[in-house]
């Protein structure tokens, strides 16, 4: 027996019979179809239709809910502005002028206060995302260059110790300045190279010349120093310190004083 | 002859079925639309924002009405200048408050089309905004007279979503010996070229979306699609939460800016939790 989907004949739709009871309509339809021996079409059940409608409605409601912020934005675009009550006598120019004078005074005081918070002496900006430095003085760029900052490597040692090599962000101050610095290698420097860690005061820990000609500390053991690995400048490869090229280091070292600000982002 | 199946032809044989179908189809959509879209739009969407500040109290209602009626173009101009100065004052108040905080903050200067990253109020990176869109809600807030008050203190970051990680951490196991260490060292340093899109949700119903100017890669588009779905799911969850607590969902004041990928990455990575934001409109 072949099965086919049934559609309602258009004649039936237009017939006045279709306006009569649903049972009669269904009977008529059934009789027509049974002649061909095809599958008998049942009249649409209101319960089934309701369920289908409700399910589809729920899906559409979920879509509405999902896009509610966008729809609300559209609603805002068509809603008229609700104006607040007039709180100022706008016709009184004299009063407005007086208010403006007071406001201007307050504004200049605010700006003055804000300017007093800005650094007066040279300061260094370190951009860790692009590995660039900018030396600023009196809100003007004095010098720009490339640097190397933290690699964001998380080194895991076999003894469950771990270190993350990132340059700290925020505002710091130059806490110390050294010429011809000597590097005291911490434990991670040996672990990273697969070498055995020597005792704390072992001469093996001290290495000369690797930090360049100058170094400036800005707290927690972090330094701004030179490098032997100049090909890595501009890349995030350090253990947290800021490495500069020799020329840049010289300029920065001479411009910055103890207490000068270093902004790292 | 078969008729084309469509929504209009469904249940044509039975009027009762058809009515029931359409009614139950429309009803849930209508309920959700009214509860989550229409009512929050019609009621005050800035419930969380500070109430409008009244600068000068009118002497009496009649005086105000007569004054408004007599408003000349000259007085209107002065009023506008005063409003501009008031907005400027709101901005500088916020800026000063942020400068006193020991943290990173972001300044969105729409008059100069610039997004400026600041540390303790000191600008450290100025990024050009190639394009920006401000949601219609701002216009409603301005009309209600609450804009200056809304802008007069810094917005504090509550939550953020992005297509890139906050910190590009790479895990490295300590090498067993120097040979293994040399092999690790000879590996190339991975360069980050991911597309950057992020959303920051601040207090007082403010949402700032940052998009990159550069056309995203295929992989970037996929990541962006996931990020968009995640954002929508979170907002849907919030709406459901509001409805559950019988509260009206809030419409967020929405701002979208477009900057370069590099700027977007630098800003996203720099801004910490609870970062501040000031706006100059």
β A123-127/A261-264 pair status: parallel
pTM assigned to the model: 0.79
The answer to whether the Cβ–Cβ distance between A87 and B55 falls below 8 Å is yes
Residue A179 distance to chain B (closest CA, Å): 28
Residues A96 and A170 in one domain: no
Structure tokens at B185: 């060292």
- Among B147, B11, B24, B168, CA closest to B86: B147
Q: A130–B136: do the CB atoms touch at under 8 Å?
A: no
Average pLDDT score over residue span B227-245: 90
Q: How far is the alpha carbon of B218 from chain A, nearest alpha carbon, in Å?
A: 23
Total domains present in chain A: 2
Indicate if A226 and A260 belong to the same structural domain.
yes
Per-residue model confidence as pLDDT tens digits over A9-42: 444 444 444 444 455 555 555 545 555 545 556 6
pLDDT at A170: 94
Which segments within chain A are labelled E, that is strand? 123-127, 132-137, 140-148, 153-156, 162-165, 170-173, 176-179, 182-184, 206-208, 214-217, 223-225, 242-244, 261-264
Q: CB A119 to CB B122 under 8 A?
A: yes
CATH number at residue A146: 2.40.440.10
| Separation between Cα atoms, residue A249 and residue A143, nearest integer Å | 11
pLDDT at A89: 53
Cβ-based contacts of B20 with chain A (< 8 Å): 46, 49-50, 53
pLDDT for A41-63, tens place per residue?
A: 667 788 888 888 899 999 999 99
Query: What is the CATH number for B139?
Result: 2.40.440.10
pLDDT greater than 50 at residue B61: no
**Cα-based distances in Å from A23 to A37, A45, B130:** 21, 11, 67
pLDDT value, residue B7: 61
Residue range(s) defining the domain that contains residue A78: 46-117
Which value, to the nearest 10 degrees, does the dihedral of the CA atoms of residues B240, B246, B248, B254 take? -30
Residue A42, φ and ψ in degrees, nearest 5: -85, 150
Higher pLDDT, B201 or B48: B201
- Tens-digit pLDDT profile for residues B80-127: 888 889 889 999 999 999 888 878 999 999 999 999 999 999 999 999
Q: Do A107 and B189 touch (CB under 8 A)?
A: no
Boundary of a domain, candidates A117, A134, A163: A117
- Name the domain count of chain B: 1
Strands (E), A111-244: 123-127, 132-137, 140-148, 153-156, 162-165, 170-173, 176-179, 182-184, 206-208, 214-217, 223-225, 242-244
Is some CB atom of chain B closer than 8 A to the CB atom of A171?
A: yes
The span from the CA of A118 to the CA of A113, in Å, is 9
Going by C-alpha positions, the residue among A167, A181, A183 that lies closest to residue A215 is A181
Residue B34 touches partner A, C-beta closer than 8 Å? no
User: Per the domain annotation, does B160 fall within a domain?
Assistant: yes
The residue written with tokens 């300017």 in the block is A115
Is there a single domain that holds both residue A132 and residue A92? no
Do both A106 and A184 map to the same domain? Answer: no
B201 falls within a domain: yes
A236 and A128 in contact (C-beta within 8 Å)?
A: yes
Domain boundary among A86, A117, A148: A117
Q: Which of A92, A117, A142 is the last residue of a domain?
A: A117
Find the closest chain B residue to A92 by CA distance.
B75
Task: Judge whether B173 is closer than 8 Å to chain A, CB to CB.
Answer: yes
CA distances in angstroms from B222 to A207, B187, B214, B261, B264, listed in the order given: 48, 28, 15, 17, 18
Does pLDDT of B155 surpass 50?
yes
Res B100: pLDDT = 86
Percentages helix, strand, coil for chain A, rounded to the nearest 5? Answer: 40, 20, 40
Q: Are residues A210 and A161 in the same domain?
A: yes
Same domain, yes or no, for A258 and A155? yes
E strand or H helix that includes residue A213: none
Q: Which of A152, A171, A195 sits opposite B167 (nearest CB)?
A: A152
What share of chain B in percent tops pLDDT 90?
44
Question: Any idea what DSSP says for residue A150?
Answer: B
Q: Is B58 on the interface with A (CB under 8 A)?
A: yes
Q: Which of A203, A205, A209, A202 is nearest to A182 (CA)?
A: A209
Distance, first Cα to last Cα, chain A? 77
The pLDDT of residue B75: 73
CB contact under 8 A, B96 and A73: no
Residues A67 and A167 in one domain: no
Give the range with max mean pLDDT: A147-151, B4-8, B39-43.
A147-151
A75-93 per-position pLDDT tens digit? 878 877 766 555 555 557 7
A96-105, pLDDT tens digit by residue? 888 889 999 9
Same domain, A100 and A143: no
């Amino acid at each position: 027996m072949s099965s086919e989907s049934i559609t309602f004949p258009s004649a039936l739709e237009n017939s006045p019979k279709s306006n009569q009871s649903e049972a009669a309509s269904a009977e008529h339809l059934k009789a027509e179809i049974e002649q061909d021996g095809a599958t008998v079409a049942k009249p649409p059940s209101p319960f089934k239709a309701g369920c289908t409608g409700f399910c589809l409605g729920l899906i559409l409601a979920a879509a509405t809910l999902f896009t509610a912020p966008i729809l609300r934005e559209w609603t805002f675009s068509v809603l008229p502005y609700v104006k607040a009550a007039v709180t100022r006598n706008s016709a009184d120019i004299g009063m407005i002028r007086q208010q403006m004078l007071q406001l201007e005074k307050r504004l200049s005081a605010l700006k003055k206060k804000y300017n007093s918070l800005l650094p007066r002496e040279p300061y260094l900006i370190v951009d860790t995302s692009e590995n660039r430095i900018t030396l600023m003085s009196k809100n003007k760029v004095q010098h720009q260059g490339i640097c190397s900052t933290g690699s964001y490597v998380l080194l895991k040692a076999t003894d469950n110790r771990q270190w993350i090599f990132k340059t700290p962000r925020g505002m710091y101050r130059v806490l110390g300045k050294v010429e011809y610095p000597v590097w005291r290698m911490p434990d991670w420097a040996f672990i990273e190279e697969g070498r055995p860690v020597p005792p704390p005061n072992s001469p093996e820990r001290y290495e000369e010349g690797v930090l360049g000609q100058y170094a400036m500390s800005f707290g927690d053991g972090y330094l701004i120093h030179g490098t032997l690995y100049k090909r890595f400048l501009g890349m995030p490869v350090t253990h947290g310190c800021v490495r500069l090229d020799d020329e840049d280091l010289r300029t920065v070292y001479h411009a910055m004083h103890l207490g000068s600000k270093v902004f790292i982002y | 002859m078969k008729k084309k199946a469509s929504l209009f032809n469904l249940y044509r044989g039975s009027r009762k079925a058809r009515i029931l179908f359409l009614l139950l189809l429309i009803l849930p959509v209508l309920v959700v639309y009214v509860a989550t879209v229409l009512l929050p739009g019609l009621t005050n969407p800035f419930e969380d924002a500070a109430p409008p500040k009244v600068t000068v109290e009118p002497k009496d209602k009649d005086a105000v009405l007569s004054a408004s009626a007599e408003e000349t173009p000259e007085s209107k101009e002065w009023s506008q200048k005063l409003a501009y100065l008031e907005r400027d004052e709101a901005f500088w108040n916020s800026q000063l408050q942020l400068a006193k905080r020991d943290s990173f903050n972001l300044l969105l200067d729409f008059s100069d089309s610039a997004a400026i990253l600041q540390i303790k109020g000191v600008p450290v990176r100025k990024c050009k905004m190639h394009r920006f869109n401000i949601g219609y809600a701002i216009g409603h807030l301005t009309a209600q007279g609450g804009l200056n008050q809304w802008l007069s203190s810094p917005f504090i970051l509550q939550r953020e979503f992005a297509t890139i990680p906050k910190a590009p951490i790479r895990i490295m196991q300590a090498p067993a010996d120097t040979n293994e260490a040399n092999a690790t060292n000879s590996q190339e340093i991975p360069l980050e070229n991911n597309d950057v899109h992020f959303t920051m949700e601040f207090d007082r119903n403010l949402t700032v979306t940052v998009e990159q100017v550069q056309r995203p890669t295929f992989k970037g588009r996929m990541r962006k699609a996931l990020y968009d779905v995640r954002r929508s799911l979170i907002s849907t969850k919030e709406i459901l939460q509001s409805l559950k607590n019988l509260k009206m969902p809030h419409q967020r004041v929405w701002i979208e800016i477009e900057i370069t990928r590099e700027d977007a990455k630098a800003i996203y990575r720099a801004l910490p939790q609870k970062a501040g934001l000031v706006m100059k409109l």
